[in-house]
Structure 1
Amino acid sequence: MKRLLSICIFLLSFVIIIQALKRPAHEAIMFFPIDPTVRFTTAETKLSLQPKKKETRYVVDWIVTSSLDRTAYLRQDVSLLFANGRLVATQTKWKKNRKSLIQQKQLKQKGSRLFQAISYHQGELHNGNDIRSSQKMSGDVLYVIDSSFAPLQSFRKPTTAEQKTWANTLNKQTQTIVNKTANQMGNILPADDYYHLYLPELVQYNEQPFMDLTTNETEMMIGNLWEGLYKNYFLGIKKQNGSIESPIGSTVPLILIKKDYSKLFVVTETADRELVILKQLLEFTQ
């Protein structure tokens, strides 16, 4: 039998029971019940390619913006950027008594790549002892072609035959990377018992609930998922030997949700090829 990669399993967070907790002094994401009267007027993640190279590298602009319809006690945005299936950069901003946030980063890159960005925007609202939240996700995709056989170019959706060929190649490269964790998990968990999706695909559930869940339950699950991701992935991945490793270089997280919605797993492979499994128990309360 082939030797399996070492596996780390940690709880992303405790059972999801929504209650008013006191926020710790340090920066963190904490989910509270959604206030249906509050909404984001803007929530956007945008990737764009600068037209000229700087020496041998091109530059990708990555802008994250959001605005609530009112001032929140706390505003936080967190964003992750993946290239060809691995994390290349992160951004976060945390401000009190704000409506709006904006973040911008420029990345020097080389080689043809499929960039995928996903952001989580959150507002925490206080009314005496009652704490509520508002949340939304946004994302963007950008193909960048950097080849001696083609001019430097970028696109979101391929339109020409050449772009379609490049997109197909980059999609296959990315899928080869991210599917490795799915294949490994197939030897651990019965695949038919779980819904599975990759983190950038989570954005679609801004507008629709998960199968067999209400909109409120979907929001609860997403909010608590991001709370756990921020603590156990964004801030650093705890490995089997107890050390904390930067998430940079890790694969796009695979999310496996038990079809009875009792638990979920987040799976990634670290930059040094260690498989890490984060577990979160689910329980929905009003």
Structure 2
Amino acid sequence: MALHLQKRGVKAVRFHPQSLGRPDTLSCEFGPRGQLNWRLEGAYGVLKDREVGSVWYRRPLFALDPELSPEEAQFAQTESREAVLGLFRLTEAFWVNRPDAIRVAESKPLQLKLAQQLGFRVPHTLLTNDPVRFQEFYEKCNGAVIFKVMTQGALGGSEGKGVYTSLVTSWHLRNFEAIRRAPCLFQEHIPKAVDLRITVIGEKIFPVEIHSQDHRQSVVDWRKGNTARLKHAAHQLPPKIEAQCFELLRSLKLVYGAIDLILTPQGEYVFLEINPSGQFAWIETLIKLPLIDTLADLLQSHT
């Protein structure tokens, strides 16, 4: 995105928090008379607070220093994250999206509550670490249940594999006592005609069909397998559903979001989740929607 804006003649820099101290520096000074000044300095030069008009904030990484002990490295990483986020909270710029808004919006239970209040159908859902409640829920859903994670975490650390949404199987039933160790999110499995990824950028919306049911590997979770081989097509949302999408972002104080819906074989729209930092570049590659230009327009309009 920085390169895209630079090609338009807009001054844009890319700040990597993992470069803090190697060699980037951060300074923020509160003067005795209420003056506030901060600056970042790195390969991009010097960036001062009053120069920032808009910010695209997406999944920053904070590195562990290999020259420190594990305890020291964890402490330094935590302090670095707090310093950077603290500085960002002081930045009076246009954000896509504000870090604190992202943190709140990533809550899956909150998403489901708001979506339901706005009129979306949401799947029958259970969040629990109680094996008895899980068994009761499984029976209510006649055995058609999926498990999904609530975070972007991976098994095996930062280099591990992501956890896909999956059907509850006989293996899970034999080992259901394991859910005591951490609450799990279960939902009824709803048959799909297609998956829908709705990308909202400011006041513009780009609904796209993902024909996940065409390949066995992607039936439950379209991200599993080779996404590029799945048929993608533009989709026309009913005005009511489109309005609900915009209202959901407003409720979460977001200006960008990637919403996942299901379109059932009966033509009903079902809300799954919203990702305030969701990807979109692959969509532009496959069906040529102007997503990058639209985001660049939004950022540039506030510089």
TM-score normalised by length of structure 1: 0.26
More helix as a share of residues: 2
More strand as a share of residues: 1
Relative contact order higher in (CA < 8 Å, ≥ 6 apart): 1
TM-score normalised by length of structure 2: 0.25
